Structure 1
């Protein structure tokens, strides 16, 4: 079995998700964990170079949606999957750090604040550095300053060094459709997940920690969470977004 979805994470009808996929391939799958349904898009290290973040179009204005991202691709390219990649201001500019093609477009924010973004510890997802994929607590990232081809900051962290965020409550009644990213302990696999129905932070964090075995995972957002994944017939349109992350394949 390749490093895609661990065997302990089952899909509907009791079938296991552990799929043997070729190196360099990426898959999106519908899965169940603790009675909740999710879509998980798995990106192995060999496909890291095809993972991109989009913010602005050629006119310098935010792209804002999946259709505009698709229109921005070169001839012969296709969008394999995409989702919102962090929180944003009313003008759709990112709240925290954003790096695209090695260029810092928005600075890191290390202080705590109200709202989910400032619920410390928060963190940064980084691809293309010393390891293919990393999720790093924000202040550790600011100190280490690892090289990243792409990076996005959000919050809170869902899983921090194998533990759920300390402020998550098992009996919370705060439920939203949520999305985020987790990384395998060896940094060779990234899992991009979104819930099918509203879930708590605790439930979503357990998906990454217990279902996928991630030691570090980062929340992207809640009520605005959207996914474009044609391989599972999912296309959540109708909402403008700030940064968008996704995988580019061949048409």
Structure 2
């Protein structure tokens, strides 16, 4: 199968970087980080002093517990005050309500969706999520959906000239793997969605953001900086 050949390219590129790898698809470069169900994957937004805004601030907060970030990326859109756009659940507490109406921008390009961290992982279309209300320890809403049960978002155009660095998450059919990806080259939505479906073989995937997309992957020597961000997703590991 076409996607299997691409997956074989996902070899670790540095010692200690078993979960984050560089690869390519149709001439574009990507970095992929895979998390298995049972790993300590969390969402982060605020501490006692307000929104963290950066990977460094999250890592400093975890250090007080004797822990550290294993990997992280921005995890959904946010307002100017860094508050989440749409549903946001952290440690079982809903901090922002789900939005199911259409609207401007990428978030409002329905269908959009929710990334849910529970016993396993799910990417669920937002209206289906609202109807089902699955149990999520952490959840973040974003949009648009990239892949929906094996189909690309119906509004994506293969020849679109809207190209940005983009990031998102896809989930395996059994919900046991969450695969986070960021493009290292500017790509359009159609190409980014096909990367999840055809290169990674994932039936459901959700867009997080573009242009401001950032990754923290110390095993690859990568710590992207930039403007303060809102929701952050990342693994928690013992501090070395």
- Taking structure 1 as the reference length, the TM-score comes to 0.89
Task: Report 1 or 2 for greater relative contact order, CA contacts < 8 Å, sequence distance ≥ 6.
Answer: 2
Q: Report the alpha carbon displacement of residue 58 of structure 1 after superposing the two structures with TM.
A: 1.6
**Among 234, 238, 247, the residue aligned to 2:222:** 234
* Conserved 8 A contact 2:4-2:201: no
User: Which deviates more from structure 2 when the two are superposed, residues 200-209 or residues 68-77?
Assistant: 68-77
Question: Aligned to 1:246, what secondary structure does the other structure show?
Answer: strand
* Conserved 8 A contact 1:7-1:17: no
- Please, which runs of 5 or more residues in structure 2 have no aligned partner? none
- Taking structure 2 as the reference length, the TM-score comes to 0.93
- 1:82 maps to 2:79: no
**Distance in 2 (alpha carbons) for counterparts of 1:26 and 1:138:** 32
Task: Identify the residue that residue 101 of structure 2 maps to in structure 1.
Answer: 111
Task: Identify the residue that residue 154 of structure 2 maps to in structure 1.
Answer: 166
**Among 45, 50, 56, the residue aligned to 2:46:** 56
Task: Identify the residue that residue 94 of structure 1 maps to in structure 2.
Answer: 84
**Among 110, 119, 134, the residue aligned to 1:120:** 110
Task: Identify the residue that residue 30 of structure 1 maps to in structure 2.
Answer: 22
**Distance in 2 (alpha carbons) for counterparts of 1:83 and 1:114:** 24
Q: Report the alpha carbon displacement of residue 241 of structure 1 after superposing the two structures with TM.
A: 0.3
Question: Aligned to 2:84, what secondary structure does the other structure show?
Answer: coil
Alignment of 1:219-230 (within 5 A): 219-230=207-218
Cα offsets for 1:194-238 (capped at 9, x unmatched): 000111101100110001111110000001111010111111112
- 1:67 maps to 2:56: yes
- Misfit runs of 4+, over 6 Å: none
* Conserved 8 A contact 2:165-2:213: yes
Note closer, same or farther for the CA distance 1:26–1:93 as it changes in structure 2 (3 Å cut): farther
User: How many residues are matched?
Assistant: 232
**Distance in 1 (alpha carbons) for counterparts of 2:6 and 2:216:** 22
**Distance in 1 (alpha carbons) for counterparts of 2:6 and 2:61:** 35
Task: Identify the residue that residue 22 of structure 1 maps to in structure 2.
Answer: none
| Alignment RMSD (CA, Å) | 1.5
- Please, which runs of 5 or more residues in structure 1 have no aligned partner? 1-5, 20-24
Cα offsets for 1:152-206 (capped at 9, x unmatched): 0000000011001001100000001000000001111000100001111011001
